[in-house]
Every structure is written in structure tokens, then in C-alpha cells.
Structure 1
Amino acid sequence: MKIFKCSLVVILMFAVMSCNSEKNDNLKVEVYETSASGNKLTKITEHSEVDSAAVIKILPEQKFQTITGFGGSFTESSAYLLNKLSEKNRDTILQAYFSEDGANYSLTRTHIASCDFSLNNYTYAPVPDDMELKNFSIEEDREDLIPMIKDAMAISKDGFGIIASPWTAPPWMKDNKAYVGGKLLPEYYNVFALYFSKYLDAYKAEGIDIWGLTPVNEPHGNGNNWESMHFSPEEETDFVQNHLGPKLEADGKGEVNILGYDQNRDGLKEWVDVMFKDEASSKYFDGTAIHWYESTYDVFPKALQYAHNKAPNKYLIETEGCIDSEVPAWKDDSWYWKKEATDWGYDWREDEKKYLHPKYAPVNRYARDIIGCLNNWVDGWVDWNMVLNRQGGPNWFENWCAAPVIVDEEADEVYFTPLYYTMAHFSKYIRPGAEVIGVDNSAETLQVTAAKNPDGSIAVVVFNEGKEPKDFMLSLTEDSVKVSISAQAIQTIIIPSKLK
């Protein structure tokens, strides 16, 4: 009799589960996948038939940060290379980055005067002790950089924000009188603030509005290798609070967003404690900028959460990340999925921190980091160079790096690496104004984030770093759908605003 009762219960439970599965397995979705097996933002039309215990439940009632955007950086190196290509290939690349059919980049960055990814050192204020900056000129940008930005603007339907960063002040304003290293002398704080205002005016005259500024790229320096200038948290806060902020406000440019710091995440606590110490120090900071170079695998979630909690109404934007210290693989998609890349820390990091820099797969690093950032209050993520050549330059310091698009400028050939498609999984489908929403993920081997777009659609990004395909149930309220993701793959799943 006991056996009969148990069997009856099992039969009834199975019947209820089958009925519910048939009733609820009706979530309409569009699935796009990029994989090591060869998919490149490929639309997947056949869904899994496997009943998996893994469930990814979307929780739209849980709302987090509002997205500012995703994109890459306009550098002189990238712009120079575009001008070396045929008009057809140049347009193909710009369309791929900025059109609705392409990655549809919405947030970008550029450098103020020269950086390592310039052809040479230059400043907009070359005349020493020109305290009124009467000789200020952006002439160096007119041949390559400005045309690239303007052509991208002409392609972009929705437009995009630009964050501009100097790598250094003009050398004559610094204590070492050099492009590399040194500090801004206090007697030039007002002049450097004027330098920013002049830059904004000059670019506006070209029809280019700048959305945001950082006071300097990487204020800790870069080992005195290429253009740099050191600020402590106290010095930069003083500069913004008492010089840059008031100057922009007085010149009618108060709408331009100032993002402090602009370096690796491990230093966040020290910086946000000073920047957002009180109302006076916080007044002109609109947010914090961060980079990813402290580790090839660690997102530093605790640091990101601390920065958000310190200034919950301010921006937290990743302004630079790339596959650094590498000559990029040419037309070899498999390399970008293999743990063969090394970064600066693999060779140069002090022994006690070298563990942060193991070999890694470039796609894994991008996907893990962007998902991790979105799940820890970051609202914008900007890649570094959009275009580099087969050497990983040009770069006056020979600081070679990879980019999502690699070109052979001599042969007029273009290679869209898997990194391009990885970026597009976010930039194309998660739009400015989207809200990051909650996810209950029981699929322990999958990394997931989700955002609800202004049009009501929901974008769910899933990353499978493993060597085996995975099946899971994607659930939203009473509706669900069975999904399979390939081995070593990233998917964006779109849930339309109106279920069909």
C-alpha cells in the first residue's frame, strides 16, 4: 500500500510538471551567439529540447544602475590607419562600429593631445609660459583624429558620448618639463583648467561636443614609459574643486561631466574617499573612471561596490581596457579563445602580485569583465583603440596592443577579431538609458547579466567559458524557454517588449 501511494504521488507530480512545462515554455526570444566554433553574432533559431535543472530567472522588479553606454576609443593611431585604407574598407569599419546594423557604439573616449597611441609627442599649447594660451591649437588633430570622429557622428543614428582625457599637461606646466612623468606645478592649475576650456571650444567649433572629461589619464603614472602626469587623490580633488570645475562653470560648460581617477580598480577606495569626502569636494565630480589592468581575471567587485556606495548618484565608468603587451594574432580566431595571451604584469609585476596576471583568453577577459562590471554598478564600458595594425600599433613608444579590428594597411585588408563581436553583444543590444535588472542564476558555470532597455525589451547576456555546451531554462514571470549555449560562447538573448 505504501508503494502504491508513493507511485501515485510521483505520477501526479510528473503530470503537473509536464502540464506546467507545456504551459510555460512559451517565452518568445531572439538569440544571438558568438562562439569559438565559429558563430559571429549568429542568430540561433533552434532552441534546446533538453529539460535542464539550470534556471536563469529574470527579475525585472529588481532595478540597479542606468546604462550610459558602451564603445571604444578614437585614437590618432586608429584614425591614421583608417586614412591608409581604401574608402570602402574605411567605411566598412566605421559602419561596423557606429551604424544600427553594426555594434552601434554609444559611449567613446579620445585623448587630449598626444598619448602612446599617437604618432609622436605633441601638445596643443607648445609655447612656454603662454599663460593665456593665445597659441592654443588643435591643428595636430585635423588630419586624422577629427575626421574619424566626424565620420562616426555622421553614421550614428542615436549619437554617442565622448570622454576626453589628457595623458599629460603641456610639459612647461610640469615640474620636470617633460612629456613623461612629473607633476603639474600648482602655479599652473588655473592655466591647465583654461587648457580644458579651450579644448572644448575648439572641438565644438568643429561640430564635436564632448560629453565628459577626466583630469588626467592614469594619475599613478605608467612607469615613466609614455605621456603621463602624476596626481595624488588630494591634488586632483584640489584641481577639480578649486580650478577645473569653477572654470568650466564660469565659461558656461558646466554640463560637461568630470570623472575623477581614471586608473585601475585596486585604487578606488583611496580615491573615492577623497573625491567624495564632503559636499565641497564632490560638487564638480560627476563620477569615477576606472581601468582594468590590475588583473587579467579579477573584476574587483568589492572595490566597485565600495565606489558605488560612496557616491551612489554618480557615474562609474570603465574608460579603458585592452589586450595590452601583445602583438595581435592575424586572422586566427582561435587565438582569441585560448589562454595564451599575457599582459604587462605577466613579466613586470612584483612577485607578490604576479598571481593576478596568469595567461588568459582575450574573449574570456572581455566577457567576464563586462558582465562583472554590470553586475557591480558600472554603467559604462569603453574599450581602447578601435583599430590597430598587425604589429599592434602604430605606437611611438612601441607599446603594442590588440584591438577588436586589425588591419594590414599596406595590403588594404581588414580582420574583425572575436573581440569585435564580443563588444557588440553588449553595445548593440543594451542601449543608453537601459536599467540593469536582477538575475537569479542557478547555472553555476554560466555568467549572466540582464538589462531592460528604454523600449521595454530585455537583453540577457550569457557567457559560457567552459569546453562543453550548456542547457538552461530562461524564465521571466510565468513564461520560460529552453536555451542551449555552445561551448566557449557568448549569447545575447532578447526578450521583446511585447511577447508574441
Structure 2
Amino acid sequence: MTIIRYGLAALLIFTIMSCNSDKKEIKNLDVEIYETSESGNKLTRITEFSTADSLAVIKILPEQKFQTITGFGGSFTESSAYLLNKLSKKNRDTILQAYFAEGGAQYSLTRTHIASCDFSLNNYTYAPKEDDMEMESFNIDEDRDDLIPMIKDAQAISQDGFKIISSPWTSPPWMKDNKAYVGGKLLPKYYDAFALYFSKYLEAYKAEGIDIWGLTPVNEPHGNGNNWESMHFSPEEETDFVQNHLGPKLESDGFGDINILGYDQNRKGIQEWVDAMYKDEASSKYFDGLAIHWYESTFDYLPKELQYAHNKSPNKYLIETEGCVDSEIPKWQDDAWYWKKEATDWGWDWASPEDKHLHPKYAPVNRYARDIIGCLNNWVDGWVDWNMVLDRQGGPNWFENWCVAPVIVDPDSDEVYFTPLYYTMAHFSKYIRPGAEVIGVENTDDDLMVTAAKNPDGSIAVVLFNEGTSSKNFALTLGEENVSVKINAQAIQTIIIPKKVR
């Protein structure tokens, strides 16, 4: 009788509770959403949430913890610094603020070159005197007009600071078997002199107020087809150089805290390199991690290779130190081009027949978004873009090796173009901060790429990429809370879940 007497009231109460619960489920996960899309959004705050029913669920699992983030950013090159000096002070400041200010992309991890590279105006070395074993001729004068001022101005703008990884494209030519800037190998009799060269560089930059966080022994030790500055190392040769020369020298000169990252080239070579670098305790002692590039493929981020590197030495850094839209002249004020499959890379023309499939036409934004998310989901802890600024030709570059940068300028007319690539990078660099932990995600929609990280302040950043031509609706859940979200076609979203005050 009691059940019958109170059945209607209980049903009414249950119905009210259910309605309240349903209402709560739609709105009770407090989020901020920022989107960049082919339709025109540029890190735009999204305030209208989805009302559509969706079977797709993205579940955030903060209890699953992976790598700690080192940072995201781009590279200081002589080409970029030279172009900034040709712009008005207003536009120069606008670009540096956009990259480093709290209201901008907040780059936290950067790279620069030691002496000249292809994105320099000419070939130069810091030690021009032949057989200068004591580095008496060492000087960084070539960097004083452009490169050093750009770095120092960025330092003055950055509230949180940023790390710098420095890489030589070659040793001084006189140390090599071919005595040239391009190609050749470092002669063993100059291993100690080259180690001293690094120490002198660190000392000289420190005197300028610029502390270097990390080094790579050489950029692209497999070479670049003998086109611009390069120097060849085998995995065993570089390991010998670091283990017995560079590491001990930096330690004895007071630079033992500098992080040495080995390799610094494409991902297909990872296995043979980490097998040599991390062969035993002695060989791995001075290696703090592995540096990699993305030029192996325009769509495949090679997860097996990334996982192999991590598993070989789980406590070492795994940082992508260079990637760009290469072999292309930038499209000026044409956002649509960056979202369309019109671009090609070096492999479109030059890859071997068996690797040709890795280099189809591609959309530049898609390449960036796919690679960064794929890397974060496979143990990579840092991701660095190449040039920050280039001109409408994709230079200047002494070899005429044209590339694209997130910011393109016309110094003659003092104009600046922020391409969609700038906003793509900002989705990661601005919202996933150094010290963040990559956390687990369950995703029921295979057409959406997703990654997530918990920041040091307790907030969670979820980055999604919808490569498809149709918008998507999904439920984002964290614990017992959820929110319904729509992501546009061809779009990147960063969803911020703020730390809840309890």
C-alpha cells in the first residue's frame, strides 16, 4: 500500500531530478573553446555550444599520466631576424608580441643555429682561423646585428621565458675532411677542438644575457644531399664525440647542465640512433634526449618509431626540433591555400619510388595539426617549428631553399601576414604550458584527432582536429561532468577546462 500511495509522488520527484540532471549534464562542465577553421575562425572564442544529440564521446582521463611537456615554439634564424630589422618598429614589435607575449602564442621552446645555415644570408663560422685549436679567433660578431637582438627582444617580451636549443649545421670547414661548408665529415683529430667551439659559443651567448638550454651536436647528420651547410656523423661517431669529447668538455667548463640532444633528423632513423646513443650507461651518460624532424612524410607521424625511442630510454627528452612547409613559396594573404591539398614537399619530386607514397599533396594546416597531435600521443614532449618569419619568396636563403613560415612579411611595403599556420601553432603553445602532463583520452570518433594535457595550474587543455569536410558534434566528459560541443569542418579546437575550486 505504501508503494501505491506514494508511487505518483515518487515518480514526479524522479522525473524532476532526471530533468535537472539532464540539464546539468549539458552545462555543468565549465569550458572555454577556441577554434581556428577553414571557414575563417582564427583562435576565435566559441560561445555557442552544441544542442545536437551525438553518439561521439571524448572522455578525459586525468588519472592516466604520460610525458611532461617541455614546450612549443619556433626558431630564431638570421633570415627571420634580418627581415624584422627591415620592418617598421611597430610591425617588428607586433610580430614579436604575437609570438612571445602573454596575449600572443607564448612560445616556450625555441631553436637557433650555431654559425650559418641555409636560412642565413651567407656562409660564416665563428672560428675562421684555420687550425685554431684554442679558438683564439672565435667570435659571434655575425650575430650581433640581427640574431642576438631578435632573441633579446623576445626575452624582454616573454613573461614566462623560453628555452633555446642551439644546433650547428657544420663545424668550421677546416675541421672537416673536405674543408668545405657543405658535406664532409669531422676529422677525429678535431673532436676536442669542436667540443671547445661549443663551450666558447655557450660562454659568448651567456655574456650577451642569453642562456642556452640545449644543444644538438649537428643538424641532420645524414646530410641534405650536399646542398647547404652540413656535416655527416654516423650514430657511432656522434656517440663517440658526445661521450668522450663534448659531454666531458661542457662538464669541465661549467656547462654540465646543458641538455645534449642527439640525432636531429628524420624519424625513420630513430632506431639505429637510439640503439647507439643508449647502448649502455657510458654511452648514454651525456645524452639528455633525442631530437627529431618531420620531413619523412607529409601525413605519417611514424608512431612506432616514436614509441621505440621512448621505450629505449623513458626518462630522456624526445623533442621535434624542426618542421616546416618546405620546397614551397608562401602564398600571400591567401588563407584558403593553407587549408587545401595544394602543397608539395621535397619528396614529391625527389623521394625514392618505395617512399613516394609518403609525399602526396597535402594541406599545410592539416600537416601541422596531425603531426603535433600524433607526436603528443606518442611521447614527444616538445615541438619546434622552423623559421618564425620569412618573406614573400620564402627566404632570404643563400641557397634559395624556399620554405613557408607562420608569419610572412613584405619588407618593401612594410606589410605583415599571419598565416593560418600561426594560429595552428598557438593552439598548442598558448594553452599547453611547460610542465604540463599529457593525460589519457578515450575517443569514440576515429575521424577526430585528440590530445589532452593537464597544466601546472590545474587546468586541462584538450586539442582536437577535424580534418573532414563536415562539422562534428561530440560530448566531452570529465568524471561525472560533460558538455556538448560542435567542431566545424576543417578546424582545430582547443578546449580549456579550468581548475575547479573546491
Q: TM-score, normalised by structure 1?
A: 0.96
Partner of 2:480: 478
Partner residue of 2:306 out of 304, 307, 319:
304
Partner of 2:471: 469
Partner of 1:222: 224
Q: How far has the Cα of 1:477 moved from its partner? A: 0.2
Partner residue of 2:164 out of 143, 162, 179:
162
| 1:438 maps onto 2:440 in alignment | yes
CA distance in 2, matches of 1:18, 1:327: 57
Q: Contact conserved, 1:474 with 1:481, CA < 8 A, in 2?
A: yes
Q: How far has the Cα of 1:231 moved from its partner? A: 0.1
Per the alignment, in what secondary structure is the counterpart of residue 162 of structure 1? Answer: strand
Partner residue of 1:116 out of 115, 118, 123:
118
Q: Across the two proteins, how many residue pairs are aligned to each other?
A: 490
Partner residue of 1:252 out of 251, 254, 273:
254
Per the alignment, in what secondary structure is the counterpart of residue 49 of structure 1? Answer: coil
Q: What stretches of structure 2 of length at least 5 have no aligned partner?
A: 1-13
Partner of 1:369: 371
Per the alignment, in what secondary structure is the counterpart of residue 197 of structure 1? Answer: helix
Equivalent residue runs for 1:241-280 within 5 Å: 241-280=243-282
Per the alignment, in what secondary structure is the counterpart of residue 189 of structure 2? Answer: helix
CA distance in 2, matches of 1:15, 1:232: 71
Q: Contact conserved, 1:163 with 1:212, CA < 8 A, in 2?
A: yes
CA distance in 2, matches of 1:218, 1:261: 7
Q: How far has the Cα of 1:23 moved from its partner? A: 3.4
Deviations 1:174-227 (A, max 9, x none): 000000000000000000000000000000000000000000000000000000
Q: Contact conserved, 1:342 with 1:358, CA < 8 A, in 2?
A: yes
Partner of 1:62: 64
Partner of 2:107: 105
Deviations 1:365-411 (A, max 9, x none): 00000000000000000000000000000000000000000000100
Q: How far has the Cα of 1:21 moved from its partner? A: 3.0
| 1:387 maps onto 2:395 in alignment | no
Instruction: Give the counterpart letter for 1:440 in structure 2.
Output: E
Q: How far has the Cα of 1:443 moved from its partner? A: 1.6
Equivalent residue runs for 1:303-452 within 5 Å: 303-452=305-454
Q: How far has the Cα of 1:427 moved from its partner? A: 0.2
Equivalent residue runs for 1:479-494 within 5 Å: 479-494=481-496
Percentage of pairs with the same residue: 81
Q: Contact conserved, 1:85 with 1:409, CA < 8 A, in 2?
A: yes
- Is the alpha carbon distance of 1:76 and 1:320 closer, same or farther for their aligned partners in structure 2, counting shifts above 3 Å? same
Aligned alpha-carbon RMSD (Å):
1.5
Partner of 1:171: 173
Q: Contact conserved, 1:462 with 1:490, CA < 8 A, in 2?
A: yes
Instruction: Give the counterpart letter for 1:80 in structure 2.
Output: Y
Partner of 1:4: none
Per the alignment, in what secondary structure is the counterpart of residue 232 of structure 2? Answer: coil
Partner residue of 1:91 out of 90, 93, 104:
93
CA distance in 2, matches of 1:287, 1:350: 30
Partner of 2:292: 290
Partner of 2:210: 208
Equivalent residue runs for 1:29-68 within 5 Å: 29-68=31-70
Per the alignment, in what secondary structure is the counterpart of residue 55 of structure 2? Answer: coil
Q: Contact conserved, 1:27 with 1:499, CA < 8 A, in 2?
A: no
CA distance in 1, matches of 2:491, 2:417: 20
Q: How far has the Cα of 1:17 moved from its partner? A: 7.6
Q: TM-score, normalised by structure 2?
A: 0.96
Moved >2 Å (runs of 4+):
13-25
CA distance in 1, matches of 2:474, 2:18: 16
Q: Contact conserved, 1:29 with 1:494, CA < 8 A, in 2?
A: yes
Q: Contact conserved, 1:261 with 1:289, CA < 8 A, in 2?
A: yes
Q: How far has the Cα of 1:352 moved from its partner? A: 1.2
CA distance in 1, matches of 2:415, 2:482: 44
Q: What stretches of structure 1 of length at least 5 have no aligned partner?
A: 1-12
Partner residue of 1:191 out of 182, 186, 193:
193
Per the alignment, in what secondary structure is the counterpart of residue 485 of structure 2? Answer: strand
Per the alignment, in what secondary structure is the counterpart of residue 317 of structure 1? Answer: strand
CA distance in 1, matches of 2:382, 2:460: 17
Per the alignment, in what secondary structure is the counterpart of residue 195 of structure 1? Answer: helix
Which stretch has the larger CA shift, 267-276 or 23-32? 23-32
Partner residue of 2:127 out of 125, 128, 150:
125
Q: Contact conserved, 1:28 with 1:499, CA < 8 A, in 2?
A: no
Deviations 1:253-281 (A, max 9, x none): 00000000000001000000000000000
CA distance in 2, matches of 1:202, 1:23: 59
